Amino acid sequence: MSKRFKGLICAYCAHAEAITGDHIFAREFFLNTRRANLPQAPTCEDCNNKKSILEHYLTTVLPFGAKHADASANLTSMVPKRLQKNRKLHRDLAEANTGSHIPIEDEKLAQLLCLIARGLNWHHWKVYVHHETHSVRSLTLSPVGVQFFNDCIFTQQAHCRVIENIGHGTFSYEGIQAKDDCALTFWRFSIYGGLSVTSDAFPAPSASQFVAFTCPRKLDAQLCRTLGVTNPLG
């Protein structure tokens, strides 16, 4: 284990001892030349394994629906090797091929974004999001949802704010931290410059922006109603 993470608690479950450092955004999302200085967080073995399963699926699927030039290069250089190792996923993608957009499993993307939000809270502000006191949710935004977050969430005054672009736009994100609760945070993500995907949430193709938020459990239901989260994951 890197000395940097020795003795720390896992950023994802916030209770187990970390065994190593984890790239919050999996290296496999990026071309080899874009992988320098990726943000990391401490992780335990269990969380590391669960996150890796989600990443294997999403690093294989998301480039199909992406606009970013690096995604096209990824499709040529790396995705075929991943599909060779996962014949079932290869068959599923072939059967579901819808041309210019790609169907995804909402739940897996939501789960990964929740883990990323936990990791970024630790990476930027050394804040642990404890399951006992706080919830973590994520959602895919419709155009109306994008406008709501632009007008009502990210215009608010914040204790801290961070804006990052990783891998020349492979991932970009913005996060804000509330003044009165360091674990009340909102994050919005753009993946590969925008995705054209279909899902249970959006049957029609949609260039999607994604959001995750961490909040006190006492505010969870209220926020879910306000944001229209009908099937929240945390």
- Write out pLDDT tens, residues 10-62: 999 999 999 999 999 999 999 999 999 999 999 999 999 999 999 999 998 88
Query: What pLDDT score does 106 carry?
Result: 80
Question: Is there a single domain that holds both residue 31 and residue 58?
Answer: yes
The boundaries of the domain holding residue 63 are 20-95
Pair 191, 128 in one domain:
yes
- Kindly tell me if the per-residue pLDDT of 88 is higher than 80: no
**12: in domain:** no
Q: Has residue 158 been placed in a domain?
A: yes
Residue 15 lies in a domain: no
In whole angstroms, give the CA distance from residue 34 to residue 53: 22
Query: b/e map of 187-198 (b: 16 or more CB within 10 Å)?
Result: bbbbbbbbbbbb
CA distances from 151 to 35, 154, 227 (A): 33, 7, 13
Please tell me the distance from the alpha carbon of residue 90 to that of residue 175, in angstroms, as a whole number: 35
64-79 per-position pLDDT tens digit = 878 788 888 888 888 8
Mean pLDDT, the chain, rounded, equals: 84
Better-scored residue on pLDDT, 229 or 63: 63
CA dihedral sign of residues 139, 83, 33, 43: positive
How many alpha carbons fall within 13 Å on the CB side of residue 84?
A: 6
What's this model's pTM, rounded to 2 decimal places? 0.87
Q: Are residues 67 and 130 in the same domain?
A: no
Q: Is 8 part of any domain?
A: no
Rounded to a whole number of angstroms, the distance between the first and last alpha carbons of the chain is: 28
Which of 95, 115, 138 is the last residue in one of the domains? 95
Same domain assignment for residues 148 and 49 = no
Single out the residue of 71, 90, 105, 91 nearest to residue 198, CA to CA. Answer: 105
Domain boundary among 60, 95, 130: 95
Give the percent of the chain with pLDDT over 70: 83
Determine the 3-state secondary structure of 32 from DSSP: helix
11 located within any domain: no
Domain count, the chain: 2
Residue 7 lies in a domain: no
Residues 47, 126, single domain; the answer is: no
Average pLDDT of 154-181? 93
In a domain, 14, yes or no: no
Residues 55 and 145 in one domain: no
Confidence of residue 126 (pLDDT cuts 50, 70, 90): very high
Report the candidate in 51, 49, 56 with the shortest Cα–Cα distance to residue 28: 56
**Contact status, residue 196 vs residue 101, Cβ threshold 8 Å:** yes
Q: For residue 189, what are the β-bridge partners?
A: 173, 210
Using an 8 Å Cβ cutoff, are 226 and 204 in contact? no
Contact between residue 159 and residue 121 where contact means Cβ atoms under 8 Å apart: no
Residues 40 and 108 in one domain: no
Considering 95, 117, 139, which residue would you say is the last residue of a domain?
95
27 domain residue, yes or no: yes
Per-residue pLDDT band at 128 (split at 50, 70, 90): very high
DSSP class of 29: G
Looking at the structure, tell me whether residues 132 and 70 fall in a common domain.
no
Give tens-digit pLDDT for 137-157.
Answer: 988 777 777 888 888 889 988
User: What pLDDT score was predicted for residue 160?
Assistant: 95
